[in-house]
Amino acid sequence: MENENKETQTTQQTQGTQETQGTLETALAQKDALIAALQSQLSEAKQATESLRAEGVAISAAHSKAVSRYLDAVKLANPTIPGDVIAGSTIDEIDASVSKALSIATAVKANLEARAREAKVPAGAPARGEISLEGLSPREKIAVGIQQGSQR
């Protein structure tokens, strides 16, 4: 009987070990499947990230090109403003520099127009006045006097 008990006990232990081993193998297979799925998702995410990075570089290049062309167009549209005054690396910066340059140009123009109005010379020849005798020699003064007398 003792032998039978030992055999039964050994059989039960073997069955328990086999059940545990089966459960562990199933869990291991599930984890392997989960790892494979996660690795696949990681690979897809890396590809998507690389694709988005390339797209971002392309968008950045297109943006830089558009800003450069906008800067050229603004310089052509404002020929009265020196080209080096209009600058910026974004559209907002370019617009701000144009606005500032236009306000400066307007102020300078108004100042020049005001100065021109102050120094306005009437059109035509000035009225004739008498000849100044200050720098003339006595002989020249006599000649001028004779000439004025004969004109009267």
Q: What is the share, in percent, of the chain residues with pLDDT greater than 90?
A: 51
Q: Is residue 126 part of a domain?
A: no
Q: Is residue 51 part of a domain?
A: yes
DSSP code for 6: H
Q: Is residue 28 part of a domain?
A: yes
Q: Is residue 39 part of a domain?
A: yes
Domain count, the chain: 1
Q: What is the pLDDT of residue 2?
A: 64
Inform me whether the pLDDT recorded for 135 exceeds 90. Answer: no
What is the tens place of the pLDDT at every residue in 29-52? Answer: 999 999 999 999 999 999 999 999
Q: Is residue 102 part of a domain?
A: yes
Q: What is the dihedral of CA 63, 68, 74, 75, to 10 degrees?
A: 170
Cα separation, 22 vs 135, in Å, equals 134
Q: Is residue 111 part of a domain?
A: yes
Question: How much is the mean pLDDT over the chain?
Answer: 87
pTM, two decimal places: 0.53
Q: DSSP 3-state helix, strand, coil percentages of the chain (rounded to 5)?
A: 80, 0, 20
Q: Is residue 92 part of a domain?
A: yes
Q: Residues 66, 71, 74, CA angle at the centre, nearest 5°?
A: 120
Q: Is residue 143 part of a domain?
A: no
What is the tens place of the pLDDT at every residue in 59-74? Answer: 999 999 999 999 999 9
The alpha carbon of 127 is separated from its chain's Cα centroid by a whole number of angstroms, namely 61
Q: What is the pLDDT of residue 21?
A: 86
